[in-house]
Amino acid sequence: MLNDKTVLVTGGTGSFGKKMLRVLLESYKLKKLIIFSRDELKQFEMSQHLKPAKYPCLHYVLGDVRDKDRLKFVFSGVDYVIHAAALKQVPAAEHNPEEFIKTNVLGAMNVIEAALANRVKKVIALSTDKACNPINLYGATKLCSDKLFMAANVAGNGDETRFGVVRYGNVLGSRGSVVPFFKERAKTGVLPITDDRMTRFRITLDQAVHFVIKTLAMTKGGELFVPRIPSMKITDLAKAIAPKCKQELVGIRPGEKIHETLISEDEARNTIEFKECYIVQSQPELRRALLADGKKGRGRPCSEDFRYSSEQNDEWLTVKELRKLVEAISDDYAIENSRWSMQDVPQ
């Protein structure tokens, strides 16, 4: 589907964008791959290893999703958009709500308008577990963004441009992940644990990227895709990273949840369960079509009291399994100011 097509990734210099870039270059023969972000330094660093001269399809474009006119210009000729640009630090959102609204909500509106104006084929927007029953401003902005993208399928340009949303939880080893924090604090001999009951879903960057590419092919408009992934206990993750360290309870932070929820009871009545994922479709006519497809693919409606939460999961990672995952995480993705090593460059 992506061969000889133009793909644009907003927020393309983040952890997800870097991994998506590698996968797309390795797996497809793209006409053009546009990395759109506002960070000129990160674009420069990426271009030192992935040079446009070597990869003629690769284009680095500066811009901000807050700038609607810039988006409309850059989206010209684009076939598919993966919208990963966002402000996402929970404490920062509480202290700077206007900035998060400008990027996560108004930015989403700008992406939608630019995609419709340029008749982009499909747009996949990345969401977060914090958008499900949000208790902090970041989650609220992402929930609003999700609703905007799903509504765009109804009030858009017919079937010419289709919008879908992918919701998953914390990415193990990405920037902002607890893994590099635990690794650094392990040097002190003590790991701070906010609550020893805390659980989280686990997804790797590689899994997240490949799931998004799958949804790009699957979406018919208006779906919220949720991958089926295992859970982990935060205390087990701490043991996997530093088994000899003492764990010290420090109390839950403002805006933080004890457990992670990806599908709420209120969304369950609109949810279809498949082998690899759940699909939430709020439009009745599209949900009926999805149910028909589900019968062919062994999909089934979820019960109305269903809830997909990390503490109620059927699949759990052991300390040993978590240790293997942590060991496999490259520091290039785990540290904020990382630099790409040459072994990360697709050959």
d(CA 125, CA 152): 12
d(CA 113, CA 163): 12
d(CA 240, CA 236): 6
Joined together, the tokens standing for residue 258 give 């004890």
Identity (one letter) of the amino acid at 321?
Answer: E
Say if residues 259 and 198 touch (Cβ distance below 8 Å). Answer: yes
Q: Which of 19, 130, 233, 257 is catalytic?
A: 130
Q: What are phi and psi of 335, to 5 degrees?
A: -110, 135
Question: Between the CA of residue 30 and those of 66, 171, 239, 304, 305, what are the distances in Å?
Answer: 27, 26, 43, 42, 44
Sign, CA dihedral 258-170-314-290, equals positive
Joined together, the tokens standing for residue 298 give 């062994």
d(CA 199, CA 201): 7
Identity (one letter) of the amino acid at 275?
Answer: K
130 included as an active-site residue: yes
Identity (one letter) of the amino acid at 6?
Answer: T
3-state secondary structure of 18: helix
Joined together, the tokens standing for residue 112 give 């939608």
Residues with catalytic roles: 130
